[in-house]
Amino acid sequence: MSERTPHDTARLALACLDLTSLNDADGEADVQRLAERAAGAPGRVAALCVWPRLVRSALAHAPRGVAVAAVANFPDGGADVERALRETGQIVAAGAQEVDVVLPWRALAAGGDTQTAALLRAVRRECEGRVLKVILESGELKSAALIERASRIALAEGADFLKTSTGKTPVGATPDAARTMLEAVAADAGGARRVGFKASGGVRRVADAAVYLDLAERILGGAALTPQRLRLGASALLDDIERVLSA
C-alpha cells in the first residue's frame, strides 16, 4: 500500500519513537544516557519512557519538545487498584506528560471485565489531562476475541492509545494483534479520529516498524501517521533508524 522508502519509514519511525529504558536497575545515569541518545538522534523522538522514580531526572535531561512517559502497574498488570493509583499519582506528581498503564490482563482473561474497567477508570481519573496509553499485553491474551475485548474496555475508559505489550513477556507486538487493536479503534465512535496505537515489544528494525506504520495507515488512514496517534516503544530501534538514515 505504501510507497515509502526505507529512509521515509525511518524518519517517520523516529518521530513516533518512545525511546525506552525499563531495566530493573536503571538509575539517573541511565536516564541521562537515554536523553543523550535522544539529543543525538537525527531528529526529534516523541518521548522518553522510564520508571516513575526516574521521571524528574528524565524531565531534567529530555531534549526540548520531547515528552516524558512513565509506566504504572508494570510489568505484571495486577488487579490492585490502589497500587495502580499510587504509581500513577507518583508519575503525575513528578510532572510526566504521559502514563503507560498495564491493563489487568489476567483478571480480564478470567472474566473480570468489571474489575478491569474499574482499574482503568481510576487511573484515567488520576491522570486526567495527560496522555494515557493502556498496555493490553496482547501476547499473553493470545486470542483475537480477548484482545478485542480488552481494546473495547480500554477505549470505553478513556484510553488515548492502545499499546500492545510491556516488552517483558515472550511475545510482544504482532501484526495480528495490532490489526485487532486498530480495528477496535476504527470501530469506536468516540475514538476513531482521536485514539492512537503503540506497538511495543520486539520492534527492533525499521522493517519491523514499517509493518505497523502500514497497518495503521490502512485501518486508520494517513492522518493517523503522526506522534499524536502512532507510537513505537523501543530502545534498539534507534540504532537501526540511524543506520538507515546514514546510508
Q: How far is residue 71's CA from residue 88's CA, in Å, rounded to a whole number?
A: 8
Exactly one of 18, 133, 188, 198 is catalytic; name it.
Answer: 198
Q: How far apart are the first and last CA of the chain?
A: 24
Whether 26 is catalytic is no
Other CB atoms within 10 A of residue 143 CB: 12
62, 247 in Cβ contact below 8 A?
no
Q: How far is residue 240's CA from residue 206's CA, in Å, rounded to a whole number?
A: 6
Distance of CA 230 to the CA centre of its chain: 9
Burial of 109 (0-12, 13-18, 19+ CB in 10 A): middle
34, 50 in Cβ contact below 8 A?
yes
Exactly one of 133, 160, 163, 240 is catalytic; name it.
Answer: 163
Exactly one of 100, 188, 208, 240 is catalytic; name it.
Answer: 100
Whether 198 is catalytic is yes
Cis peptide before 170 (omega within 30 of 0): no
Block residue for cell numbers 525499521: 206
Residues with catalytic function: 100, 163, 198
